[in-house]
């Protein structure tokens, strides 16, 4: 039988106080500082004591408010898992930004002590990689067809849709030092296979794959900053242009920049999806022409 730890001993004492009614539902449970003082243990041990009681559904902890004893018949929260922690982090990043995801912020969202987060993810780098892997798992390439171009475009658009659902995704990905992400493999295998079926050698297929992915990612990194600006200012892209149009026009006098001056007199509806459509069409059209010229 494993030896009982000091944290487990102290948790048993507090559990007895709760069972006897000395600590009643709604009472404040001892704080970590009180446990350190009363039992002569380190802060980490005191945090572990409260974590054990919380896992048993005996107390509830809230950042800034300490821990409160729960009623015996209060239903326990569903058991937390690593996947649940990652899902909570993804939700914060989707709603706020990737920069908003910290161990403290995540712990507050999960209503657990900050140190408890480390039971599920070793650190912030591992958490970010797990978040990336989780959302890339949403990219489901369709069944392969006889049309390599349609297949490549389909998976590129699937990645694009994931980037729109998770605006932080594009900026979190590295093209030069990529994370080891198991869920990225099906997407990469699918696209590379389609490019090789088009008649490209593996090395050339990989070059085209990187170019295509960089193209999609490049547009994807514009999504989150624009949403952040809109959230802070309440101003859309078109409204921003309208407000700054006179200043922009002053930078392009017709006698020096006639093309730009003429463009600024037109009503251009900025739409990142239109840019993606145009970029994919042009790139894949050029690639198809190159493939056909090799075949002749």
- Residue 87's domain is classified under what CATH number? 1.10.10.60
Q: Could you tell me how many helices (H) and strands (E) the chain has, helices first? A: 14, 2
Residues 159 and 211 in one domain: yes
Instruction: Give Rg (Cα) of the chain.
Output: 27
Residue 3 scores a pLDDT above 70: no
CB 141 within 8 A of CB 183: no
Residue 174, in any domain of the structure: yes
The per-residue pLDDT for 119 is 87
What single-letter DSSP state applies at residue 69? E
CB 288 within 8 A of CB 149: yes
CB 195 within 8 A of CB 205: yes
Q: Could you give the number of structural domains in the chain?
A: 3
* Domain-terminating residue out of 115, 136, 157: 136
Residues 127 and 166 in one domain: no
Q: How confident is the model at residue 13 (pLDDT cuts 50, 70, 90)?
A: confident
What single-letter DSSP state applies at residue 123? S
What kind and span of H or E run contains 66? strand 66-69
Residues 16 and 44 in one domain: yes
Residues 157 and 119 in one domain: no
Residue 119, in any domain of the structure: yes
The per-residue pLDDT for 73 is 56
Give the chain's mean pLDDT. 87
Residues 152 and 200 in one domain: yes
Tell me the C-alpha distance between 95 and 88, whole Å.
11
Residue 205, in any domain of the structure: yes
pTM tops 0.75, yes or no: no
The per-residue pLDDT for 72 is 63
Tell me the pLDDT tens digit for each residue of 216-241: 999 999 988 887 777 778 887 778 88
CB 120 within 8 A of CB 82: yes
Residues 286 and 173 in one domain: yes
What kind and span of H or E run contains 61? strand 59-62
Task: Say whether 40 sits in a helix, a strand or coil.
Answer: coil
CB 62 within 8 A of CB 70: no
Residue 264, in any domain of the structure: no
Other C-beta atoms lying within 10 Å of the C-beta of residue 185: 11
Q: How confident is the model at residue 1 (pLDDT cuts 50, 70, 90)?
A: very low
Tell me the C-alpha distance between 28 and 14, whole Å.
12
Tell me the C-alpha distance between 287 and 212, whole Å.
10
* Percentage of the residues of the chain whose pLDDT score is greater than 90: 42
Range of the domain at 132: 82-136
CA distances for 244 relative to 249, 261, 262, angstroms: 9, 14, 16
Residues 114 and 153 in one domain: no
Q: What sign does the dihedral 257-262-264-269 (CA atoms) show? A: negative
CATH label of the domain that carries residue 27: 1.10.10.10
Residue 231, in any domain of the structure: no
Residues 208 and 119 in one domain: no
Tell me the C-alpha distance between 248 and 236, whole Å.
17
Q: How far apart are the first and last CA of the chain?
A: 75
Residue 2 scores a pLDDT above 70: no
DSSP 3-state percent helix, strand, coil across the chain (nearest 5): 65, 5, 35
Strand partners, 68: 28, 60
Residues 44 and 120 in one domain: no
Residue 235, in any domain of the structure: no
Residue 279, in any domain of the structure: yes
Task: Say whether 196 sits in a helix, a strand or coil.
Answer: helix
Strand partners, 67: 61
Residue 141, in any domain of the structure: no
Lowest mean pLDDT among 25-29, 72-76, 157-161, 228-232: 72-76
Residues 219 and 277 in one domain: yes
Residues 155 and 122 in one domain: no
Residues 122 and 48 in one domain: no
Lowest mean pLDDT among 39-53, 66-80, 108-122: 66-80
């Amino acid at each position: 039988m494993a030896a009982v730890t000091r944290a487990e001993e102290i948790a048993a004492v507090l559990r007895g106080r709760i069972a006897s009614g000395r600590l009643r539902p709604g009472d404040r449970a001892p704080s970590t500082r009180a446990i350190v003082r009363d039992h002569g243990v380190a802060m980490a041990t005191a945090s572990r004591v409260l974590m054990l009681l919380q896992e048993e559904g005996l107390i509830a902890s809230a950042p800034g408010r300490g821990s409160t004893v729960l009623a015996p018949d209060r239903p326990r929260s569903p058991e937390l898992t690593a996947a649940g922690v990652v899902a909570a982090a993804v939700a914060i990043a989707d709603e706020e930004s990737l920069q908003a995801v910290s161990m403290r912020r995540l712990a507050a969202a999960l209503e657990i002590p900050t140190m408890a987060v480390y039971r599920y993810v070793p650190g912030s780098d591992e958490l970010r990689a797990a978040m990336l892997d989780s959302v890339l798992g949403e990219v489901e390439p369709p069944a392969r067809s006889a049309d390599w171009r349609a297949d490549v475009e389909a998976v590129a658009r699937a990645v694009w849709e994931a980037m729109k659902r998770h605006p932080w995704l594009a900026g979190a990905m590295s093209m030069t030092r990529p994370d080891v992400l198991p869920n990225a493999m099906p997407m990469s295998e699918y696209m590379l296979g389609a490019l090789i079926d088009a008649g490209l050698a593996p090395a050339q297929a990989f070059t085209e794959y990187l170019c295509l992915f960089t193209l999609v990612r490049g547009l994807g990194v514009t999504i989150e900053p624009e949403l952040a600006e809109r959230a802070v200012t309440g101003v859309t892209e078109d409204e921003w242009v309208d407000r700054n149009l006179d200043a922009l026009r002053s930078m392009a006098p017709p006698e020096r920049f006639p093309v730009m001056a003429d463009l600024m007199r037109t009503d251009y509806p900025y739409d990142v999806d239109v840019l993606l459509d145009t970029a994919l069409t042009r790139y894949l059209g050029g690639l198809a022409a190159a493939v056909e010229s090799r075949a002749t």
